[in-house]
């Protein structure tokens, strides 16, 4: 059942909240054999970042190819719901328009059901979502776990009922050894739906775009026992902690000051973790790693099924995550709402036979962003490049000088923060921010503050060098690069038009 066209099958594998260093390539203690095989047969982008350190803006940016500030989707309470006004074509629809059979399994988090009782799949012809129909994640025609397996979903929610909103309170991060069968976990059900499709639903006449996106390793950490047993708690490292007790003079401290709800959620976890023994703290790391191994197991099963059917003979395989996870760093910070590397760096791999043989098994240290995926996959599918998009073809020769990420606060119920903007190179990182709400920002632009970290010497980002005049030259150079990068990106779209249309933007 091999692909009958010259277009490669495109297999898009994605997790939620997986740190860049939580794959075997970067941490030999973590057991991810399927992802490791992708790394061995493809390109690992070691400096890849997301465009916003939270799900909705990151995924919207990745799937539409524009920065969150261009889309207006800046926090998890955002979302584009008017299909007639989308600023670009979503990735699944691009693939469908290129002649692909499009099948999506798992999380997209468009948030477009808010004003639309029948939100479209935005290009997916086959769709399955591991949530209930009334969860806000329903898409038109999708098979929903709440309809197909209500007892299994109810059992999952019973096990996690004390984990809080988003399963992110202290109990969610402490987790438990799950007693729910794997196929009744939301990700397990989605994986089984995907496997059934690969066995029974492939179109022999068209290339395949397969999207498999899991909800974990995002908290909560109720992990199937078989994967928890892969790790010994004695081998888990202690959490690295900074030499200071309180966050001060950073965009994260400014965000805490503006959003009392977010600050309280942090302090709640901190109190719990400070009362733990070091061994108890390691249990959270162990369960997070075990979640990564569990999802890797499903990726391996799906890839094996595709391989048996010849659908990897001519294929481009993507593996990525939408953002990272602090996992207790910076005085027991969890989740991802900041611009530090543990939150903004993501694992990103391109693998498969479509990758040139000379590049297989290599590490690419060039700056890479999730917005690069739309132009990369469009090129592979034979589509013309959209000149409005800021991303680059990851397999092409063009490269940017650094990577960009933006943070507008955690979102509701607080007001949006004034933007915090990151410009990152392999050795240095700059963060510029205003310690105010966006509504007050115009009157306080002269109050901007900054952070500068020498990542080569300070990978934990504990020593802010922004005010150190010995580093004034790199600070000013990074600032100029950031401003000109944004000026170039924002001038390209999404609303650009002159007498020659888009021709002025070039190829």
Beta strand residue intervals within 347-436, DSSP E: 348-351, 362-364, 368-369, 403-407, 420-424, 428-433
Give me the domains of the chain, ranges plus CATH numbers: 9-505 (3.40.720.10)
State percent of the chain over pLDDT 70.
96
pLDDT, tens digit, for every residue of 184-210?
A: 999 999 999 999 999 999 999 999 999
Task: Calculate the average pLDDT of the chain.
Answer: 94
Return the ∠ at Cα 175 (arms to 284 and 329), rounded to 5°.
Answer: 30
Mean pLDDT to the nearest integer, 115-124: 92
With contact defined as beta carbons under 8 Å apart, do 215 and 107 qualify?
A: yes
pLDDT at 412: 67
Band (pLDDT 50/70/90 cuts) for residue 334 is very high
326 contacts: CB under 8 Å, gap ≥ 6: 333, 334, 335, 336, 338, 340, 342, 343
Closest among 419, 431, 418, 426 to 465, alpha carbons compared: 431
* Section 395-418 average pLDDT: 87
Q: Element (H or E) spanning 9, and its range? A: strand 9-16
Work out the end-to-end distance of the chain between its first and last CA atoms, rounded to an integer number of angstroms.
36
Distance CA 12, CA 50 (A): 16
Structure tokens at 430: 């700059």
| Bond from prior residue into 217 cis (ω within 30 degrees of 0) | yes
Reference 104, options 73, 68, 140; nearest CA is 140
Angle formed at CA 394 by CA 391 and CA 399, multiple of 5 degrees: 70
CA distance 308 to 28: 29
Nearest to 122 by CA among 190, 63, 73: 63
Structure pTM? Answer: 0.96
Residue 52 pLDDT > 90:
yes
CA distance 370 to 408: 18
Tell me: pLDDT of 160 over 60: yes
What is the longest distance spanned by two Cα atoms in the chain? 67
CB of 148 within 8 A of CB of 133? no
B/e letters for 271-303, b = 16+ CB within 10 Å, e = fewer, are ebbeeeeeeebbbbbbbbbbbbbbbbbbbbbbb
Tell whether the model's pLDDT for residue 133 goes beyond 80: yes
Q: Which residue has the higher pLDDT, 492 or 159?
A: 159
Q: Measured between alpha carbons, how far is 411 from 426 in angstroms, rounded to an integer?
A: 29
**pLDDT, position 416:** 75
Q: Give the pair of three-digit tokens for residue 234.
A: 């004695």
Here the tokens at position 82 are 């008017």
pLDDT at 442: 87
Segment 16-25 mean pLDDT: 98
Q: What is the mean pLDDT of residues 113-142?
A: 93
d(C-alpha 491, C-alpha 6), whole Å: 35
What is the pLDDT, as a whole number, of residue 498?
58
Q: Which of 18-22, 262-266, 345-349, 495-499 has the lowest mean pLDDT?
A: 495-499
CA dist 159 and 399 (Å) reads: 47
Q: Residue 493: its pLDDT value, please?
A: 79
Spatial contact of 59 and 43, defined as CB atoms under 8 Å apart: no
Q: Is the pLDDT of residue 69 over 70?
A: yes
């Amino acid at each position: 059942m091999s692909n009958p066209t010259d277009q490669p099958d495109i297999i898009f594998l994605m997790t939620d909240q997986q740190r860049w260093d939580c794959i075997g390539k970067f941490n030999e203690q973590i057991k991810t054999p399927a992802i490791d095989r992708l790394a061995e047969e493809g390109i690992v982008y070691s400096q890849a970042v997301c465009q916003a350190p939270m799900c909705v803006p990151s995924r919207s940016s990745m799937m539409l190819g524009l920065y969150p500030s261009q889309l207006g989707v800046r926090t998890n309470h955002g979302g584009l719901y008017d299909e007639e006004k989308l600023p670009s074509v979503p990735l699944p629809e691009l693939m469908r328009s290129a002649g692909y059979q499009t099948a999506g399994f798992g999380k997209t988090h468009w948030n477009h059901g808010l004003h639309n009782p029948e939100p479209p799949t935005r290009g997916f012809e086959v769709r399955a979502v591991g949530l209930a129909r009334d969860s806000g994640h329903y898409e038109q025609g999708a098979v929903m776990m709440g309809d197909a397996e209500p007892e299994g979903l109810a059992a999952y929610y019973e096990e996690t009922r004390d984990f809080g909103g988003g399963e992110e309170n202290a109990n969610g991060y402490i987790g438990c050894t799950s007693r729910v069968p794997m196929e009744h976990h939301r990700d397990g059900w989605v994986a089984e739906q995907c496997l059934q499709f690969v066995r029974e639903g492939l179109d022999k006449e068209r290339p395949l775009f397969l999207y498999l996106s899991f909800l974990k390793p995002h908290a909560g950490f109720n992990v199937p026992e078989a994967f928890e047993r892969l790790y010994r708690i004695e081998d888990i490292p202690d959490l690295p902690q900074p030499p200071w007790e309180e966050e001060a003079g950073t965009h994260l401290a400014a965000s805490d000051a503006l959003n009392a709800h977010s600050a309280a959620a942090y302090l709640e976890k901190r109190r719990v973790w400070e009362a733990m023994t070091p061994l108890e703290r390691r249990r959270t790391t162990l369960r997070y790693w075990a979640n990564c191994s569990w999802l890797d197991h499903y990726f391996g099963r799906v890839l094996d099924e595709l391989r048996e059917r010849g659908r990897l003979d001519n294929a481009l395989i993507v593996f990525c995550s939408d953002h990272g996870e602090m996992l207790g760093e910076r005085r027991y910070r969890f989740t991802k709402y900041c611009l530090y590397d543990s939150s903004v760096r993501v694992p990103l791999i391109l693998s498969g036979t479509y990758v040139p043989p000379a590049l297989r098994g290599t590490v690419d240290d060039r700056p890479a962003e999730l917005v690069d995926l739309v132009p990369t996959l469009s090129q592979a599918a034979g589509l013309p490049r959209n000149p409005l998009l800021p991303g680059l073809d990851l397999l092409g020769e063009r490269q940017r000088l650094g990577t960009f990420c933006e943070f507008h606060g955690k979102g509701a119920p607080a007001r949006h923060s004034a933007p915090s903007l990151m410009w990152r190179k392999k050795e240095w990182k700059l963060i510029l921010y205003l310690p105010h709400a966006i509504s007050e920002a115009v009157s306080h632009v002269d109050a901007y503050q900054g952070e500068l970290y020498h990542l080569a010497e300070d990978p934990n980002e504990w020593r802010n060098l922004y005010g150190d005049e010995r580093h004034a030259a790199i600070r000013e150079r990074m600032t100029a690069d950031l401003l000109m990068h944004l000026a170039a990106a924002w001038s390209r779209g999404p609303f650009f038009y002159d007498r020659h249309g888009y021709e002025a933007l070039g190829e």
